[in-house]
Amino acid sequence: MKLFIDQLIEQIQAKRTPCIVGLDPALERIPESWLQKQGITQESSLVDCAEAIYQYNLMVLDAVADLVPAIKPQSAYYELYGSAGIVALEKTITAARDRDLLVVLDVKRGDIASTATAYAQSYLPSKPAHPLEADAITIVPYLGEDCLEPFFEEATKWGKGIFVCVKTSNPGAAIIQEQQIDGRYLYEIIADLIKPASDKSIGESGYSGIGAVVGATYPEAAIRLRKQLPNSLFLVPGVGAQGGGKEGIKACFNADGLGAVVSSSRAIMYPHQYDAADSNQKTIRQAAINLVGQVNEILK
């Protein structure tokens, strides 16, 4: 069984980029002209809307599949459409795999004991085959070790990845994550809970798939966490639309240029909202190329 982390590092090196693309399909962001071609109006059914977001995802996947190692669907955008949305998510995962992309499913689950195990088993096991199987998922840690261990155990069993929300990119997180206890930030204490599992699951690449979400918007925190978790993979949101800059991105990586993946969603999926005339396969691809170039320049 080849570990997720080793597959990811291999793909990062093959495609020469640590960038991944978030798939956050929102009808209000998709160009009206494209929706009209799909026959989508304000009166459209949930089934039709879910199919439309899947079709938009296919356009994005075809635009970026040869450029990046992985995609990151955010589950909430699919759950919005009920069972039809879950089907769209399942089909998106299958389409990504058909294009040899790894899948980081952004679900941010967090519970304890058997409930946490049930969540983990919804997304991580490879047998029996499960339509929502991902290569890695995101979780939240604030119920303590009881909510982390079931996810770590299931991920380790199947060679999958876990990204614990440690220092997230949103400004409002500081009121919790930057609370100090005995002179240490709470996010550092959360990192302590990750390290034992991370150290036990280091792959041939020298990295562990038991990692952390660390926003590019907080460089000083990223520097602290990179030292604290030298072998953990970081999932780095906050670039593009959220404004994470050069120093925040660079701080998440090790000297070998590895150790993190940089995720961008809106800036790639909807380039017409930034500096492109339209959002289509060509402009989406160009937005991804621009991101790859920017991040590679930072990591030189």
- pLDDT tens for the chain, 300 residues long, are 899 999 999 999 999 999 999 999 999 999 999 999 999 999 999 999 999 999 999 999 999 999 999 999 999 999 999 999 999 999 999 999 999 999 999 999 999 999 999 999 999 999 888 889 999 999 999 999 999 999 999 999 999 999 999 999 888 999 999 999 999 999 999 999 999 999 999 999 999 999 999 998 889 999 999 999 999 999 998 675 445 578 999 999 999 999 999 999 999 999 999 888 899 999 999 999 999 999 999 998
Q: What is the DSSP string of 47-83?
A: HHHHHHHHHHHHHHHHHHTTT-SEEEEBTHHHHTTHH
Q: What is the pTM of this model?
A: 0.95
Catalytic (active-site) positions = 108
CATH superfamily of 4-292: Aldolase class I (3.20.20.70)
What pLDDT, on a 0 to 100 scale, did the predictor assign at position 200?
Answer: 95
Phi, psi of 106 (to 5 degrees): -90, 95
* Element (DSSP H or E) covering residue 294: helix 281-298
Q: How far is it, in rounded angstroms, from Cα 104 to Cα 135?
A: 6
Which residues 6+ apart lie within 8 Å of 295 measured at CB?
17, 18, 19, 239, 249, 262
Is the preceding omega at residue 237 within 30 degrees of 0, hence cis? no
CA angle 263, 188, 5 (to 5 degrees): 40
166 vs 207: CA distance, rounded Å: 18
Round to whole Å and give the CA distance between 39 and 35.
Answer: 6
Single-letter amino acid, residue 207: Y
In DSSP terms, 109 is beta-bridged to: 139
**pLDDT value of residue 243:** 52
Three-state secondary structure call for residue 293: helix
Domain ranges in the chain are: 4-292
For residue 227, give the nearest of 196, 191, 262, 199 by alpha carbon. Answer: 191
Say how far apart CA 274 and CA 157 lie, in whole Å: 42
Q: How would you classify the pairing of strands 180-181 and 70-73?
A: unpaired
Question: Scanning the structure block, which residue is given the tokens 């635009």?
Answer: 63
Predicted pLDDT at 216: 87
First-to-last C-alpha distance (Å) of the chain? 33
Cα–Cα separations (whole angstroms), residue 115 to 121, 156, 163: 10, 18, 18
Q: How far apart, in whole angstroms, are the C-alpha atoms of residue 174 and residue 41? A: 39
The amino acid that residue 218 corresponds to is: Y
